[in-house]
């Protein structure tokens, strides 16, 4: 049995779903399950939402017994009075617990795992992390899985009007993520990054209108006060936040942030001639560039500062 842990917001969930489907196809005789118990304790962003938003294949969910069988890990998905307090204790215990090292797979051991598992498919493994930088997956499978990621619901009237405008011009999406990034190591994208990205796009293609997607309208208005032909979109909040991803994916070209959310929007963009500008860093500690999709000449990396 193989278990893939889902965590984080919608962007991370998409990459984790891609990996989940990848190993399903790679090992059709093996049970592959999803551990979504993390969302019982940490309902980050809008919780586990990928299956509500996309017409994806139904996930087979790992139960408590499955998780305990594969790794020494106490799941959070219990229903009882005082759950918050108990789950804090569980979180502390889980940090100290790891079962057999070869059963617990991280980014650093993924290549070694695939080689060994092909020799013995009877072993159980637990995948902890987001495998969006796994080369073999991007070389062989991600385009197939992208076809499964179709939005379930039609857009509402307000967003439908924006979608029509986006589809009928040489549109560019710009993603600015502030909110939970402010003051931490992910708060790295400067005005220079966005202005350089705009100039590069203008030098390569016609840009009729810029659609700026942000969780901070005041900041965005000030940031782009001198940019003509812009529309700032900040109305899709909470459970409607995914609609920003849907709209960004309809733009002809994309300027993305150091965020899996806008990276996924660019991946979902069906325009075969799209140009995507992305930063060279994910955070102050982490550089980008090892993901094979970034080797596509249409994906242009520039400095984040």
Average pLDDT over residues 164-187: 83
Note the pLDDT tens digit of each residue in 140-175. Answer: 777 787 888 999 999 999 999 999 999 999 999 999
d(CA 123, CA 103): 8
Q: What is the pLDDT of residues 50-87, one digit of tens each?
A: 999 999 988 999 988 888 777 666 665 555 556 677 77
By residue count, the chain amounts to 305
Tokens 């779903």 sit at which residue? Answer: 17
Q: What is the residue whose two structure tokens read 């040489």?
A: 170
Nearest-CA neighbor of 174 among 122, 223, 226?
A: 223
Which domains does the chain carry? 2-146 (no CATH), 157-302 (3.40.50.11350)
Q: Which of helix, strand or coil describes residue 143?
A: helix
What backbone torsions phi and psi does residue 119 show, to the nearest 5 degrees?
A: -85, -25
Q: Are 160 and 153 in contact (CB under 8 A)?
A: no
End-to-end Cα, the chain, rounded Å: 44
Give the model's pLDDT for residue 99.
47
Nearest partner of 209 among 227, 183, 234, 182, judged by Cα = 227
Q: In angstroms, what CA-CA distances link 218 with 195, 237, 288? A: 18, 15, 29
Kindly give the pairing relationship between strand 2-5 and strand 32-35: parallel
Convert the pLDDT of each residue in 99-142 to its tens digit: 444 466 655 456 666 666 666 677 788 887 655 555 566 667 77
């Amino acid at each position: 049995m193989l278990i893939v842990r889902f965590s984080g917001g919608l962007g991370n969930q998409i990459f984790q779903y891609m990996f989940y489907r990848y190993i399903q196809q790679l090992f059709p005789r093996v049970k592959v399950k999803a551990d979504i118990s993390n969302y019982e304790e940490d309902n980050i962003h809008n919780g586990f939402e990928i299956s509500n938003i996309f017409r994806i294949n139904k996930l087979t969910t790992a139960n408590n017994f499955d998780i305990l069988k594969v790794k020494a890990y106490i799941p959070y998905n219990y229903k009882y009075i005082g759950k918050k307090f108990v789950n804090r204790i569980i979180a502390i215990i889980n940090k100290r617990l790891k079962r057999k090292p070869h059963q617990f797979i991280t980014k650093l051991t993924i290549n070694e795992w695939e080689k060994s598992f092909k020799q013995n498919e009877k072993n159980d493994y637990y995948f902890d992390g987001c495998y969006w930088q796994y080369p073999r997956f991007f070389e062989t499978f991600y385009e197939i899985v992208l076809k499964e990621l179709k939005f379930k619901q039609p857009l509402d009237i307000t967003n439908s009007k924006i979608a029509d405008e986006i589809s009928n011009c040489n549109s560019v999406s710009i993603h600015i993520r502030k909110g939970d990034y402010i003051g931490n190591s992910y708060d790295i994208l400067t005005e220079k990054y966005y202005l350089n990205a705009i100039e590069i796009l203008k030098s390569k293609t016609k840009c009729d209108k810029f659609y700026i997607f942000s969780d901070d309208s005041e900041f965005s208005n000030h940031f782009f006060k001198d940019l003509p032909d812009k529309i700032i979109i900040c109305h899709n909040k909470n459970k409607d936040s995914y609609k920003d991803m849907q709209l960004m994916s309809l733009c002809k070209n994309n300027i993305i942030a150091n965020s899996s959310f806008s990276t996924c929007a660019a991946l979902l963009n069906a325009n075969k001639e799209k140009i995507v500008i992305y930063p060279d860093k994910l955070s102050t500690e982490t550089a980008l560039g090892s993901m094979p999709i970034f080797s596509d000449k249409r994906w242009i990396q520039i400095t984040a500062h």
